[in-house]
């Protein structure tokens, strides 16, 4: 079954609130096996809302709206759908009584305009709202179904779980299940990755393949539909095994496994400890590592050695190295990694130095030049990187590169 989610409310178009309802509904519907192929957002305008709902009904079997069920003149979703289907609005007495009870329990007078919330299109199925005053509405028109849900997430979500899910299963039957698995990659561009697995993309059916650029990573999302979760997962695993023959070296994690989670797991598995000396990242790598619960097992300590004097006094970088090669150099990064490792007596040391910009560049050392060194039992591995973008973006990409370099070093 094809579903379109229509989010109503001018505040969404103005960017005054984040539309979490669409993400929630899409996630839940896909897990039930319904295909959410369209999402639309429309303001509180009768003509435009009529056009959007008419378009949705033409291309989807089920249209689910959120918002516009309140008591004010701007809450017009039910009125628009009733007009579109040529149905009069009638008073639903049980809903009106529930609304009156809502106000009585709070010892508040009920404004007259709240009666509007009890007006529903003729023939509609009314869905009780346990968290607010706006009932949900289901309209069945031949093979098409419109479901109106309230806008506030704390009302929409329990109504959907408690009432709409059982309704959908009862009316449309079991739809199977849609399962997704994300292969998270680093160190390869989106176009290059696509070239490596182009044949799989061109011949996809079930499962499907999607490439997503996400904050310096490229995610490969595999989505399969099956009669059961086991069947869908088997389809995904079969395709994943084939893809890994081409891109396994770039895959570092699955689904929610971030680089810091993977690095922490490797360090724990090998019983290794870590210390960091960070300059241009300002402690960002240490912060990401400590975002993982239990990281105190492997992270001993870190120093933000932003100035040259701190690099000398606290990390042990020789003054002559700084004078000869500069703070942003392979030599300095290696001494930082070795110095912090010795200072904290850890198995591994990481040194990070670079130019995050916008100032500080020279003719030979541009903004975005970064050196990352990992020192450990296998010696010092120092890599040069050239990043582009604004200051915060360069810091973010440097942190990712440092974590990935550390992952590769520990995983040898």
What percentage of the chain carries pLDDT values higher than 70?
100
CA gyration radius, the chain: 28
d(C-alpha 129, C-alpha 31), whole Å = 23
Query: Which pLDDT value is given to residue 377?
Result: 97
Query: Which pLDDT value is given to residue 326?
Result: 97
Mean pLDDT, residues 235-255 taken together: 98
Q: Which residue is listed with tokens 């997704």?
A: 180
pTM to 2 decimal places: 0.83
Q: Where are the strands (E) in 227-294, listed by range?
A: 251-254, 274-278
d(C-alpha 177, C-alpha 86), whole Å = 35
- Tell me the DSSP string of 151-210: SSHHHHHHHIIIIIHHHHHHHH----EEEEEEEEE-SS-HHHHHHHTHHHHHT--SSEEE
Q: Which element (helix H / strand E) includes 104? A: helix 93-105
What percentage of the chain carries pLDDT values higher than 90?
99
User: Which residues are within 8 A (CB) of 30 and not within 5 positions of it... i.e. 6 or more apart?
Assistant: 36, 178, 180
Long-range contacts of range 46-51, CB-CB < 8 Å, 24 or more positions apart? 46/76, 46/79, 46/80, 49/8, 49/76, 49/77, 49/80, 50/80, 50/83, 50/84
Query: Which pLDDT value is given to residue 327?
Result: 97
Nearest one of 10, 222, 56, 283 to 148, comparing CA atoms: 56
Each residue of 37-96: pLDDT tens digit?
999 999 999 999 999 999 999 999 999 999 999 999 999 999 999 999 999 999 999 999
d(C-alpha 13, C-alpha 17), whole Å = 9
Query: Which pLDDT value is given to residue 250?
Result: 97
DSSP 72: S
Which pair of tokens denotes residue 61?
Answer: 């079997």
User: Which residues are within 8 A (CB) of 79 and not within 5 positions of it... i.e. 6 or more apart?
Assistant: 46, 89
Query: How do beta strands 274-278 and 299-304 pair?
Result: parallel
Query: Which pLDDT value is given to residue 221?
Result: 97
Each residue of 300-351: pLDDT tens digit?
999 999 999 999 999 999 999 999 999 999 999 999 999 999 999 999 999 9
Query: Which pLDDT value is given to residue 203?
Result: 95
Query: Which pLDDT value is given to residue 193?
Result: 97
Residues in the chain, overall count: 412
Mean pLDDT, residues 155-182 taken together: 96
d(C-alpha 142, C-alpha 80), whole Å = 18
Mean pLDDT, residues 200-229 taken together: 95
Query: Which pLDDT value is given to residue 8?
Result: 98
Nearest one of 338, 361, 343, 356 to 393, comparing CA atoms: 356
Average pLDDT of the chain, as a whole number? 97
Give the three-class secondary structure for 12. helix
Ordered domains of the chain (ranges, CATH): 2-172 (3.40.980.10), 177-254 (3.30.70.2860), 260-410 (3.90.950.20)
Which pair of tokens denotes residue 277?
Answer: 């000396």
Which pair of tokens denotes residue 266?
Answer: 């490797």
Query: Which pLDDT value is given to residue 150?
Result: 97
Query: Which pLDDT value is given to residue 53?
Result: 98
Query: Which pLDDT value is given to residue 395?
Result: 98
Nearest one of 378, 364, 387 to 412, comparing CA atoms: 378
Mean pLDDT, residues 170-185 taken together: 95
Query: Which pLDDT value is given to residue 339?
Result: 98
Q: Where are the strands (E) in 189-295, listed by range?
A: 208-214, 217-226, 251-254, 274-278
d(C-alpha 146, C-alpha 137), whole Å = 8
373 DSSP β-pair partners: 351, 382
Which pair of tokens denotes residue 73?
Answer: 């003149």
d(C-alpha 408, C-alpha 412), whole Å = 6
Mean pLDDT, residues 214-219 taken together: 95
Query: Which pLDDT value is given to residue 366?
Result: 97
Residue 406's CB: how many other CB atoms inside 10 A?
A: 26
């Amino acid at each position: 079954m094809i579903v379109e989610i229509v989010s109503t409310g001018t505040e969404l178009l103005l960017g005054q609130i984040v539309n979490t309802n669409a993400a929630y509904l899409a996630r839940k519907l896909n897990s039930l096996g319904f295909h959410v192929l369209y999402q639309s957002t429309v303001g509180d305008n009768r003509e435009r809302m009529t056009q959007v709902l008419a378009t949705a009904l033409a291309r989807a079997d089920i249209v689910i709206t959120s918002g516009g069920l309140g008591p004010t003149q701007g809450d017009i979703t039910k009125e628009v759908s009733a007009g579109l289907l040529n149905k009069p609005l009638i008073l639903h007495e049980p809903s009106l009584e529930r609304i009156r009870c809502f106000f009585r329990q709070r010892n508040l007078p009920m404004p007259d305009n709240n009666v509007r919330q009890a007006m529903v299109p003729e023939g509609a199925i009314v869905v009780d709202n346990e968290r607010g005053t706006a009932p949900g509405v289901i309209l069945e028109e031949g093979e098409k179904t419109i479901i109106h849900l309230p806008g506030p997430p704390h009302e929409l979500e329990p109504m959907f779980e408690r009432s709409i899910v059982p309704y959908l299963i009862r009316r449309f039957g079991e739809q199977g299940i849609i399962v997704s698995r994300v292969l998270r990659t680093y160190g390869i561009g989106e176009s290059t990755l696509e070239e490596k697995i182009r044949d799989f993309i061109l011949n996809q059916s079930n499962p499907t393949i999607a490439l997503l650029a996400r904050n310096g990573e490229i995610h490969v999302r595999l989505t399969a539909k099956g009669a059961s979760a086991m069947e869908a997962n088997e389809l995904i695993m079969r395709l994943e095994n084939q893809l890994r023959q081409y891109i396994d070296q770039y895959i570092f994690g699955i689904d929610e496994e971030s680089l810091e989670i993977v690095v922490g797991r490797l360090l724990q598995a090998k019983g290794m400890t870590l210390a960091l000396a960070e300059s241009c990242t300002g402690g960002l790598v240490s912060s990401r590592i400590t975002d993982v619960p239990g990281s105190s097992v492997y992270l001993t300590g870190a120093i933000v050695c932003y100035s040259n004097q701190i690099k000398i006094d606290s990390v042990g970088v020789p003054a002559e190295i700084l004078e000869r090669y500069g703070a942003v150099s392979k030599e300095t990064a290696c001494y930082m990694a070795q110095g912090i490792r010795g200072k904290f007596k850890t198995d591994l040391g990481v040194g990070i130095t670079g130019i995050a910009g916008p100032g500080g560049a020279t003719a030979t050392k541009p903004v975005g030049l970064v050196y990352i060194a990992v020192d450990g039992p296998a010696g010092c591995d120092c890599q040069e990187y050239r990043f582009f973008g604004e200051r915060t973006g360069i810091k973010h990409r440097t942190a990712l590169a440092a974590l990935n370099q550390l992952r590769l070093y520990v995983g040898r």
